[in-house]
A = this chain, B = another copy of it.
Amino acid sequence: MALLRALLLALVVPIVRVKAYDNGLAITPQMGWNTWNHFGCDISESTILNAAKAMIAKNLTSLGYEYVIMDDCWHAPARDAATGAPVADPQKFPNGIKALSDEIHALGLKFGIYSDAGRYTCGGRFGSLDHEDIDAKTYAEWGVDYLTLEYDNCFNEGRAGTPKLSFDRYAKMSDALNATRRPILYSLCNWGEDGPWNFASTIANSWRISGDIMDTFDRFDDRCPCTSVIDCKLPGFQCAMARIIDFAAPVGQKAHAGAWNDLDMLEVGNGGMTHDEYVTHFTFWSILKSPLILGNDVTNMSADTLEIITNKAIIDINQDSAGSPANRRWKRSVQGGGDLSLWSGSLVNNRFIIALLNTSPSQQTVDVDFTDVFVDQGKVYQHQAYSISDLWQKDASGNWGKPLGTFQGSLKKVVIG
């Protein structure tokens, strides 16, 4: 079991400026929905259109979820023999990808596609390696003027192992997309190999940092064997949610407007975690400024799931224009296993966020010291008074964010279940 409290602190003093680079896209982390986590290879035109319609019906679009992303297995068995252009599976997509894209646009949404910087996709379809130009051109011809490309790393023919090898491979698609003259949100996925947080911000809008997420809280799995994403030579997959949070701690510093750490698609609603665990999941993806890409079946959601993914206070943190991920201030081992950690971050307009994470099996009580919360801001901030709200409770008007009062110096005896 594991709970989290996300608290918002506000006061009126200027905040520290963040060094940032901006290429005009994904100024805040992208939000949307993707086929993979729930449907895997079992997709078709209707899967995707139904999801798009459900996103509107459930008002998800009004909260910022705008990308509808078709993941792996949309492909025909082979490229077009004459032109080498990619071809979609005619059975799954009888009207073609352009028709699907047009319908998505008609709904006011944006359309995304998946490919792989290797010979094959992870699902064994044709990949884009050494076909970057024709693929980017075709994607553009399919009529999408705003494209999210999820660009994966399977079967990469050994073109990895130094940042330069990885940069060069992924920059090829970046250049090809730019050559189409259409604005394209480029979501790079190389599972964190060679440190994309170091090399990718000038060529992509986001980069995955680890192997694929597993819909579970904190179970170690041999298939996600690294204990850190720094120089991990086998990112693998089946990475538990809380392990990805741990992975993200040292690399948050590298994200900024237009260039985000991608913690992988959300599992909220897919059934492998408890309500509290999904709350933790959604909160940390938000405060770490990960893209928020839903991975559940949005046509069939419980009220619980809907409530989590529509917490506007949490989404606002993710979309805050400061673009500054929360940082872990301390991490303490808990007797009996697991850890307790404190995270804090700054937003625009002198607001701040505090979050606690408990991965131990037992409830913990902890004092939160403002010298830890404001380690980056210094002594003046550490000694001021703050009005604090709990973002997972609602206020009197029914809006997320219940005021808890004014606090100075510390929060005493916070209970984290």
Which A residues are closer than 8 A to B by beta carbons? 17, 19-22, 40-41, 119-120, 122-124, 155-168, 171, 194-195, 197-199, 201-202, 216, 219, 221-223, 225-226, 228, 230-231, 233-234, 236-238, 249-253, 271-272, 327-328, 331, 375-376, 378-379
**In chain B, what residue has the closest Cβ to A331?**
B222
Instruction: Assess whether A164 is in contact with B158, with CB atoms less than 8 Å apart.
Output: yes
Residue of B nearest to A194 (CB): B161
Docked-complex contact A19 and B123, CB < 8 angstroms: yes
How far does the alpha carbon of A157 sit from the alpha carbon of B21 in the complex, in Å?
A: 14
A155 and B202 within 8 A (CB):
yes
Known A40-B17, A379-B271: A167·B158 in contact at CB below 8 Å = yes
Jot down 11 A-B pairs with beta carbons below 8 A, ordered by A.
Answer: A21-B120, A156-B198, A158-B163, A158-B167, A159-B163, A160-B163, A223-B253, A225-B228, A231-B234, A234-B251, A271-B378
Q: Are B222 and A249 in contact (CB under 8 A)?
A: yes
Q: Are A230 and B234 in contact (CB under 8 A)?
A: yes
- Chain B nearest Cβ from A126, distance in angstroms: 11
Query: In the bound complex, how far is the Cα of B295 from the Cα of A253, in angstroms?
Result: 22
The complex is assembled from copies of this chain, and their number is: 4
15 further interface pairs, Cβ-Cβ under 8 Å (given A119-B202, A222-B249, A222-B250): A17-B40, A19-B124, A21-B120, A120-B202, A155-B202, A156-B198, A158-B162, A158-B167, A159-B164, A160-B163, A161-B163, A195-B233, A219-B375, A236-B250, A272-B378
**Residues in B whose Cβ lies below 8 Å from that of A21:** 120, 124, 155
Does A199 lie within 8 Å of B250, measured CB to CB?
Answer: no
- Enumerate chain B residues within 8 angstroms of A250, measured Cβ to Cβ: 222-223, 225, 234, 236
Which residue among A159, A164, A272, A376 has the maximum number of chain B CB atoms within 10 Å of its CB?
Answer: A164
Closest residue on chain B to residue A236 by CB atoms: B253
Report chain B residues within 8 Å CB of A120: 21, 202
Q: How far is the CA of A331 from the CA of B222 in the complex (A)?
A: 10
| Assembly CA distance A251 to B234 (angstroms) | 8
> Does B327 lie within 8 Å of A198, measured CB to CB?
no
Q: Give the docked Cα–Cα distance between A228 and B185 (Å).
A: 37
In the complex, what distance in Å separates the CA atom of A357 from the CA atom of B31?
45
Q: Which B residues lie within 8 Å of A222 (CB)?
A: 249-250, 252, 327-328, 331
Q: Could you tell me the distance between the alpha carbons of A237 and B64 in the complex, rounded to whole angstroms?
A: 33
Q: How far is the CA of A171 from the CA of B158 in the complex (A)?
A: 10
Find out whether the CB atom of A199 lies under 8 angstroms from the CB atom of B158.
Answer: yes
CB distance from A273 to the nearest CB of B (A): 12
Is there an interface contact between B161 and A164, defined as CB atoms closer than 8 Å?
A: yes
Closest to A72 in B: B19
A155 to chain B, nearest CB (A): 5
Q: Top 4 nearest A-B pairs by Cβ distance?
A: A158-B167, A161-B162, A158-B199, A158-B163
Report the Cα distance A93→B144, complex, angstroms: 45
Please name all residues of chain B whose beta carbon is closer than 8 Å to the beta carbon of A249 when the two chains form the complex: 222, 225
Q: Cβ of A225: which chain B residues have Cβ within 8 Å of it?
A: 228, 230, 249-250
Q: Which residues of B contact A231 (CB under 8 A)?
A: 233-234
Counting chain B CB atoms within 10 Å of each CB, which of A155, A222, A237 scores highest?
A: A222
Neighbouring B residues of A197 by C-beta, 8 Å:
234
